[in-house]
Amino acid sequence: MPPLPKLNGEVQEDNRVDNSKFDGFMYCPSPPDSKENANSPVYFMAWQNGEVLSEEEDNGLVYVYDLNSNLQRPKFNIACPKAQNIQILPAPSGHAILVWSQNLNDASGKSYYGEHNL
């Protein structure tokens, strides 16, 4: 990310999100009935696949931010155990999202298709 411009000749503290830690981003569309209320949450999601984390941390994480509130911390997180790949699928209405995590390597030998979680 480019540095922030100076404010009154002073360097600003950079508290922006470092996107080098995330594997993907997605904006969740707002439901049509919430557009009348300016205080309705507007969700933005960022995620980390488990394969890029250390061996002690094999869970993927989805961070859900409300663009109408503090962006320094997510509104909530969604843990995705053993997620090599995470996909976010928002409903066209904006009322729900589907978080699909996949682990294509099944070490137990129980499934040829690996593990999938919703």
Instruction: Please give the Cα distance from 66 to 43 (Å, whole number).
Output: 5
Our count of domains for the chain comes to: 1
- Under a CB-based contact definition with an 8 Å cutoff, are residues 86 and 100 in contact? yes
The answer to whether residue 11 is domain-embedded is no
Instruction: Please give the Cα distance from 118 to 116 (Å, whole number).
Output: 7
pTM: 0.68
The answer to whether residue 25 is domain-embedded is yes
Instruction: Please give the Cα distance from 68 to 81 (Å, whole number).
Output: 29
6 vs 111, residue with greater confidence: 6
Residue 6's pLDDT is what? Answer: 75
The answer to whether residue 99 is domain-embedded is yes
The answer to whether residue 1 is domain-embedded is no
pLDDT digits (tens, 9 = 90+) for 24-33: 888 887 777 7
Domain containing residue 28: 20-32+40-117
The answer to whether residue 13 is domain-embedded is no
pLDDT digits (tens, 9 = 90+) for 21-61: 788 888 887 777 776 777 777 888 888 887 655 445 567 88
Q: Is pLDDT above 80 for 114?
A: no
How deeply is 97 buried, as exposed, middle or buried, from its count of CB atoms within 10 A (0-12, 13-18, 19+)? middle
The answer to whether residue 53 is domain-embedded is yes
The answer to whether residue 87 is domain-embedded is yes
Which pair of tokens denotes residue 43? Answer: 């969700």
The answer to whether residue 88 is domain-embedded is yes
Residue 9's pLDDT is what? Answer: 81
- Under a CB-based contact definition with an 8 Å cutoff, are residues 40 and 59 in contact? no
